[in-house]
Structure 1
């Protein structure tokens, strides 16, 4: 069992783990892995095929087949000669990226866990970053993590797409690497079943607490009347072409710090740091990634947040695990959802990490919610069924 600090506050925040019912306050409320797709040669071939088809359409009525072949070869040679190799490679890379986005497909590792791309994530300090470059890795991007005092590096995966095969070289520089796993919201919205409750009917509001709360979730509707007077600092971590979502984050924020006539959240005077990490994805609806979670946790550390609520769950990830441990070492308390995949579910993360407080849901009769996760990693069971909250509009 993990040590519980600030028990009343943790209990209060745990409500964010499961927003089970869509009820209104009459206010507007996935280390080593082989990935399946090897892209470069496929898409070079696709580009050539497109050129060939265009030429055929233009000349097929006027020339014989042998002339068509000559024209096709000449066009391809001219295109390749005119464009520098680096530019060709950049075009192919861009084309690969566009194909992935247009197909809207998530990849998978050998365990069947979803990943957002075939890139690797690595946590490295400046010296390790230089060593990665000297090892010959192709670095896509680097972002300084001020709170963690490290860098989040995205590497282009070698042709093997297998981290375990390259781990010896990474181990030489003491770097942790993993793929960019996908995570989903842990809360479920279901029709009301019985009487709905204000959470402060079950646990009195801690109205006098001046706390620095954190929430890593969807975005929130700052204009919502239950939140319009709240002290909220919103940080948009997810910068995808897909639209942001606000429903779940708005609901959780209202329970935590919301206030209006007839409705009071648990900590209405607290400050809330909200990191928006979720975005709409056609294949799996609302998702976030290990990359975004690492960046969000880093922001919470840099902002000196006391406790952070994470109502999300997914597979183990080495980079996320190291980030979580560093956050705990920096005295950031992380409260996370155990998940709603049922009593036989395998442990989900980040809740199952040792220093994270894992929360499962109970109803007002103190019975465990039928879809709530169980297991030795669970630290807290808290109310999470038929709770009133704001609906985003």
Structure 2
């Protein structure tokens, strides 16, 4: 992508997201106070500090900046083709998106400065947090009422930034702020000592999986007759960017919309418009499942979102009685997301996610790598693997996702990425459900695996999974 595009995206991120204080986050309990001060650049004698202090032993994750400063273009690297190898984790964490305050159960603002308590017990060693995360927040599920939520905050010197009842988690989800700069890993260990807290996780950051970019060749490659394709009245949730619902390809397609980050202005609508169009577009840019009803949750801006926002979108999707949830994004492993996905699957929803565009040596991408989620990688018109696709045992299925024409916020565009391969699979599954509404999520998953066209090494492999989607064979498979 041209330099102007990078500058434009950086400007969008800078205008859209409010970053946390530039305080180094370390999860290494073995660091001395001087080393921590050096990470935070608070020592008077800067020359005494060693360069290259490490960030607590966490694994390298997408979006970590190189060097001692945060560079905005690094935050959107997953939106560009051929992303470079991930650098060693840097002392500071990237500036996060500003998570919207939930309207379900708004928490009162802090009445004054929060005084960090002393002598707090650690129920476990400080956690080494991998991946990109909001550096001054944690997400906690709490057993108890609003009083218990506030008592925990007071005891640990935290701020209640939002709280709501989560349908998919089955409990109260609280977003606590850390006002004094304590590392997230330390606060998670401190929270574990309070028996009222059930799950404690970082507020991880997730990235849309679009590689930059003819006639849609997907129909032919997945053995679907475009004249017979139909997802009529199948309800599909898409969690993505905002969309251009005036695009002719989406006329009559969008059945409902939800904004999970209402306090963040919408700047870009391309990615979400393309995903919705590939699934169920109409007219000249017909999707894989025409007639399907899209329930679209906007949860990304500038290519980024947080765990808190995504969970809000997932809860809304579950309330729409959808059969399929499309998640064309990737981030670190997070137990809250894993629980939400597991419970959505238990409710009978088919979960489809992008495997990731971060290269053969990238860590597993989530939510794709969770059990019960169909992880989709991208292939081209000749069934070749997209070079920048993630690899791993979690990859389940291959589908077209390289240089396809799709609707966008500017009309139409040529798109590439596992995001769009996931959309093709979601549309194909809608065809299966339209033809056999009683088919369960387990039955659909087994049919896709059993009938996929084997690519690469014989059998399931880390590059192509079970192979290329064959929707005709899957529809004919015996249950």
Q: Structure 1 length as normaliser, TM-score?
A: 0.66
- Asked whether the 8 Å contact 1:338–1:358 carries over to 2, the reply is yes
Quote the offset at 1:245 in angstroms. 2.1
**3-state SS, counterpart of residue 323 of structure 1:** helix
Residue pairs, 1:278-317, within 5 angstroms:
278-280=300-302, 286-317=303-334
TM-superposition CA deviations, 1:296-346 (whole Å, max 9, x none): 111111111111111100111222222222222222221111101111211
Report what 2:15 is aligned to: none
Residue pairs, 1:130-169, within 5 angstroms:
130-135=147-152, 136-137=155-156, 138=158, 139-157=160-178, 160-161=182-183, 162-169=186-193
Report what 2:237 is aligned to: 214
Residue pairs, 1:278-357, within 5 angstroms:
278-280=300-302, 286-357=303-374
Q: Structure 1 pair 220/294, CA: closer, same or farther in 2 (3 Å)?
A: same
**3-state SS, counterpart of residue 200 of structure 1:** helix
Report what 2:287 is aligned to: 265
- Asked whether the 8 Å contact 1:198–1:263 carries over to 2, the reply is no
State the aligned residue count: 288
Q: How far apart, in 2, do the equivalents of 1:232 and 1:209 lie?
A: 12
Q: How far apart, in 2, do the equivalents of 1:241 and 1:225 lie?
A: 26
Cα RMSD after superposing both structures: 3.0
Q: How far apart, in 1, do the equivalents of 2:141 and 2:130 lie?
A: 24
Q: 2:131 aligns with which of 107, 110, 113?
A: 113
Q: How far apart, in 2, do the equivalents of 1:33 and 1:350 lie?
A: 25
Q: Structure 1 pair 342/275, CA: closer, same or farther in 2 (3 Å)?
A: same
- Asked whether the 8 Å contact 1:185–1:312 carries over to 2, the reply is yes
TM-superposition CA deviations, 1:24-75 (whole Å, max 9, x none): xxxxxxxx964989xxxx9xxxxxxxxxxxxxxxxxxxxxxxxxxxxxxxxx
1:276 aligned onto 2:298:
yes
Q: How far apart, in 1, do the equivalents of 2:325 and 2:111 lie?
A: 44
Quote the offset at 1:87 in angstroms. 5.9
Quote the offset at 1:238 in angstroms. 1.5
Quote the offset at 1:373 in angstroms. 1.3
Quote the offset at 1:380 in angstroms. 0.7
Quote the offset at 1:351 in angstroms. 0.6
- Asked whether the 8 Å contact 2:168–2:340 carries over to 1, the reply is no
- Asked whether the 8 Å contact 1:125–1:149 carries over to 2, the reply is no
Q: Structure 2 length as normaliser, TM-score?
A: 0.55
- Asked whether the 8 Å contact 1:147–1:299 carries over to 2, the reply is no
Q: 1:235 aligns with which of 245, 258, 263?
A: 258
Report what 1:199 is aligned to: 218
